[in-house]
Structure 1
């Protein structure tokens, strides 16, 4: 018997993704087997059965049959194929997400999925719970009483643990890594339809749910939901919405504020409750030279410490300063390899030695004595960063307990949790943290100070204003009810800053959606970002021009209203990271539906393998 299999490895799309093997056993389509692949043994899914041996091929035998019946249930298989197209990732690479690591050594412990549970028919129901979690608790209780399954997604494992503690009354099960035997037993229980409340991050989305009734996405707008470190690169809530639709589960969206796409679709159905706190906007132009804080900010800190309170200082940048600039010619000190501005860092957390360190390639240089362009000696660090804040606070408040939470201080999750625990227990304490704190359970504080508002919108990206608004609302939620949020800014008369400080989401969303629609940006369009890296700038430009002609020729055949538009090529914001020249192409189009992949299939077919394709990226620069 000969079979075509999809190996769990990225080797291509369509028929190029399939390999042929010989089986000594009778197999069904969807069976999971172990096959030899060069010197390796890898899992593979049986896609089709052959009656005869293909000509001119040397066929190898399947080494092991994990299960002769279908391994993936129907909703999983549909999700695998859709995710491959929606993320422009070879299906074998996507299939890896659906195969748990313990499968390689298991056969007899696998249970067949239950056929007694039938998914609900009709339109998928969407429920909203922004500002509190009352609806989520009631919805979970209803599903569990009906002996159905519930999945609650969190952006990170740490937040999943916090959710499990919050929902401990329902006896939840955490799913992310850990004991393989427990993972296997949970996987089997879910596969046979056993009622359970599962809380997890990305990996929980690919469990074999056969009885899923409720899928809750907590903190919908959290940027950590953009999984862009490894392929497939995708937005986790979008994949969760696809799963909910295929199994007709109720979709529950929670968070501080909805995404603009959710607001655009369901504005009338969303009841939004935002935290209201005392807000002060402080003018950075009034601070003393070389100081981080204004006089009013220092007074707020002093008053809070004298009252035994806790303070959270939010810094948008790590290190001592964002960049070093010549005061005569305006040139910035850049990395000789990447051509990116080099921030100033202390060499290590406790050292006083100052160095320039590239954020992209990690190269370290000694602080320059003179400007490399005009040879001026007037070099000035610019931008307020975490280490400089810590030094300034230690000078002004030597008796206060200082805690720093950034990847410079520690990158270990246990150490980060320990820092937060110590901060929670210590009176008269100050926590200095970067964006990573927004994804953690920071204790309620009496005072929060944003070091520089402009640094939060400094990134040249169409989502910058939306992220700024979300950040301010998240910080408000970290305050005690009587607490104060102080925002230092260079331009205090700013519409965005004023709207965010007031928490006027309706006004912000309305204006932002009008602007996005006029410029044809998401959520009114879908975006594909195509990136090429090459050590030779001429080769990169030549390949970019060739691809843009091919894209325009092919995509122009797709009719209105989809109407794809190709923009570029353009260099990256960082021209030469790690010594490679960057070229970026952007394709924008209006999709035929929420999960339509017509344009994605065209882009996959045209684009050479040396290009990196990211659909709906978190940033276009």
Structure 2
């Protein structure tokens, strides 16, 4: 079979391959697909639109310093970008995205290594030592790879640089891989179709170079479904779009912001959101186990009493990925429906979207991790369900997160339909994303940030204090030009208090935080937090 594939010019259908081999091909072909030696795809209807020629990266990208590659990269861009550099580190925000990027690179760089937290300690140690010795020259990894001991690092490429997965904020030390990357490489490239507002502002101010890589022609129909006029988890326009794609022999993906069956569980009596008594994370309902579970610490609660009023009646809120999967399975019983979320990645370390679409399912439901990556021609429809949970979050970055999710999701399509279900069809983050108008989004977002003095027009720190320490904090910071927001009570933190501190510049913020730590040693301080 390998000989037959190597002697074939261009793609070959399964029927043609079986005729040439002369025997069953299903089992050996599956093994080749699993190892990434061959790739399966579904051709789009009509003649393919030729991709633009890759640019002369040597003349486009600066030899040193930082640059924003606004618009994102195609798979064909990586060889040219990396080729002129002896050593390169490519960062991806999630393990799933890192695996996909590594797979794209292997045909061009067979010795490229993959480094992430899911590897065994032995594999991580082997790669670490090879990097130190200079024998591993190209590495793809998640945020922890930024610490690999390259003796001399020519290029660092941060894919989807806006993703908050680059910030470690759940344990000390707090760090942002994007910020560290800009200190490590001679050339640092920040790539994204929807960069962070702060990065965009820096590029427009000339603090970093701005590069617009050529983009392929996309024939994408963008549809907004107004949930004030529609009902159901899977609306009629979405169901009809999926049916058309399946009839054409193509695939579909549906992104849902939250795992589980519902987004949250509340007490029916008092409305209190039920949280894990151990870590304070909102509990979700696991339909298969018929239990409330915590997705952070893993605890399960077969029965639960509301801590506020003692009620036992529950009310389920919102839509989770598992519920959407169940709805799609009921609507399309002959289609295979798969679920990809963080739990699936942990359970199946080798899972990736391309493999699932080619071998296991016609429809894939997933959390936002499946929206990050290059275009897959077999995808005919991409949908966003339940995104109002992001837009309505109590976070000044809510609009930005919504726009970035939709912009990233649209890059998964070469030709097809993008469908967004929302109760806020006129919000500028959604209208700009559907129109592909980044100027409109960033101008309005920056105007809002300026009005309320949020980054990039200020610098933030999140400070969590033991109870009754507000007076001590304000006393320690009274000599610094900072603004206080709070206190609020972070859930599951035993009565601790959360403050946001705004400062006009980074130096003032760092000095204020240093003074706060000296005055209150138990203070937990996160500078430039990604999560409020």
Range into which the TM-score falls when normalised by the shorter chain: 0.7 to 0.9
Consecutive unaligned residues in structure 2, runs of 5 or more = 1-61, 116-120
Note if 1:565 corresponds to 2:477: no
Residue 235 of structure 1 corresponds to 176
Residue 463 of structure 1 corresponds to 397
- State how far apart, in whole Å, the 1-side matches of 2:420 and 2:488 are: 35
Identify if the C-alpha distance between structure 1 residues 287 and 326 changes in structure 2 by more than 3 Å, giving closer, same or farther: farther
Identify if the C-alpha distance between structure 1 residues 128 and 302 changes in structure 2 by more than 3 Å, giving closer, same or farther: same
Residue 588 of structure 1 corresponds to 502
Identify if the C-alpha distance between structure 1 residues 369 and 422 changes in structure 2 by more than 3 Å, giving closer, same or farther: same
Answer whether contact 1:283 1:492 (CA < 8 A) is retained: yes
The Cα offsets for residues 577-600 of structure 1, whole Å up to 9 and x where unpaired, read as: 5xx22311222213357x995444
2:112 equivalent among 173, 180, 185: 173
Q: How does 1:308-327 map to 2 (within 5 A)?
A: 308-324=249-265
Note if 1:264 corresponds to 2:201: yes
Provide the alpha-carbon RMSD of the alignment: 3.6
Identify if the C-alpha distance between structure 1 residues 496 and 161 changes in structure 2 by more than 3 Å, giving closer, same or farther: closer
Answer whether contact 2:70 2:194 (CA < 8 A) is retained: yes
- State how far apart, in whole Å, the 1-side matches of 2:274 and 2:97 are: 37
Structure-1-length-normalised TM-score: 0.65
Q: How does 1:389-400 map to 2 (within 5 A)?
A: 389-400=324-335
Answer whether contact 2:276 2:294 (CA < 8 A) is retained: no
**Secondary structure of 2:434's aligned partner:** helix
Residue 525 of structure 2 corresponds to 613
Identify if the C-alpha distance between structure 1 residues 157 and 386 changes in structure 2 by more than 3 Å, giving closer, same or farther: closer
The alpha-carbon deviation at position 302 of structure 1 amounts to 1.7
**Secondary structure of 2:463's aligned partner:** strand
- Could you tell which deviates more after superposition, 180-189 or 211-220? 180-189
Note if 1:435 corresponds to 2:368: yes
Q: How does 1:92-111 map to 2 (within 5 A)?
A: none
Identify if the C-alpha distance between structure 1 residues 200 and 347 changes in structure 2 by more than 3 Å, giving closer, same or farther: closer
Answer whether contact 1:318 1:406 (CA < 8 A) is retained: yes
The Cα offsets for residues 159-199 of structure 1, whole Å up to 9 and x where unpaired, read as: 34433443342455326361745642431227xxxx93343
Answer whether contact 1:313 1:451 (CA < 8 A) is retained: yes
Residue 509 of structure 1 corresponds to 442
Note if 1:482 corresponds to 2:415: yes
**Secondary structure of 1:143's aligned partner:** coil
The Cα offsets for residues 372-412 of structure 1, whole Å up to 9 and x where unpaired, read as: 969898x6532122222122222221111111112455632
- State how far apart, in whole Å, the 2-side matches of 1:162 and 1:394 are: 27
Residue 253 of structure 1 corresponds to 190
1:548 equivalent among 446, 451, 474: 474
- State how far apart, in whole Å, the 2-side matches of 1:454 and 1:154 are: 26
Residue 137 of structure 2 corresponds to 196
- State how far apart, in whole Å, the 2-side matches of 1:252 and 1:375 are: 53
Residue 35 of structure 1 corresponds to none
- State how far apart, in whole Å, the 2-side matches of 1:452 and 1:529 are: 28
The alpha-carbon deviation at position 136 of structure 1 amounts to 5.6
Answer whether contact 1:161 1:174 (CA < 8 A) is retained: no
The alpha-carbon deviation at position 228 of structure 1 amounts to 2.1
The Cα offsets for residues 439-463 of structure 1, whole Å up to 9 and x where unpaired, read as: 5779551111212231222321111
Identify if the C-alpha distance between structure 1 residues 316 and 423 changes in structure 2 by more than 3 Å, giving closer, same or farther: same
- State how far apart, in whole Å, the 1-side matches of 2:397 and 2:196 are: 11
Answer whether contact 2:476 2:515 (CA < 8 A) is retained: no
Identify if the C-alpha distance between structure 1 residues 599 and 371 changes in structure 2 by more than 3 Å, giving closer, same or farther: closer
Bigger-Rg structure (1/2): 1
Identify if the C-alpha distance between structure 1 residues 476 and 181 changes in structure 2 by more than 3 Å, giving closer, same or farther: closer
Answer whether contact 1:326 1:376 (CA < 8 A) is retained: yes
1:500 equivalent among 419, 433, 437: 433
The Cα offsets for residues 242-264 of structure 1, whole Å up to 9 and x where unpaired, read as: 234xxxx1222212222222211
The alpha-carbon deviation at position 467 of structure 1 amounts to 1.1
**Secondary structure of 1:240's aligned partner:** helix
Identify if the C-alpha distance between structure 1 residues 494 and 521 changes in structure 2 by more than 3 Å, giving closer, same or farther: closer
**Secondary structure of 1:452's aligned partner:** coil
Residue 226 of structure 2 corresponds to 283
Note if 1:302 corresponds to 2:215: no
- State how far apart, in whole Å, the 2-side matches of 1:162 and 1:502 are: 28
**Secondary structure of 1:424's aligned partner:** helix
- State how far apart, in whole Å, the 2-side matches of 1:409 and 1:157 are: 12
Identify if the C-alpha distance between structure 1 residues 305 and 139 changes in structure 2 by more than 3 Å, giving closer, same or farther: closer
The alpha-carbon deviation at position 509 of structure 1 amounts to 0.8
The Cα offsets for residues 345-378 of structure 1, whole Å up to 9 and x where unpaired, read as: 2143xxxxx333345665544578999969898x
- State how far apart, in whole Å, the 1-side matches of 2:468 and 2:416 are: 57
- State how far apart, in whole Å, the 1-side matches of 2:101 and 2:411 are: 16
**Relative contact order: is structure 1 or structure 2 higher (C-alpha 8 Å, sep ≥ 6)?**
2
Q: How many residues align?
A: 454
Structure-2-length-normalised TM-score: 0.75
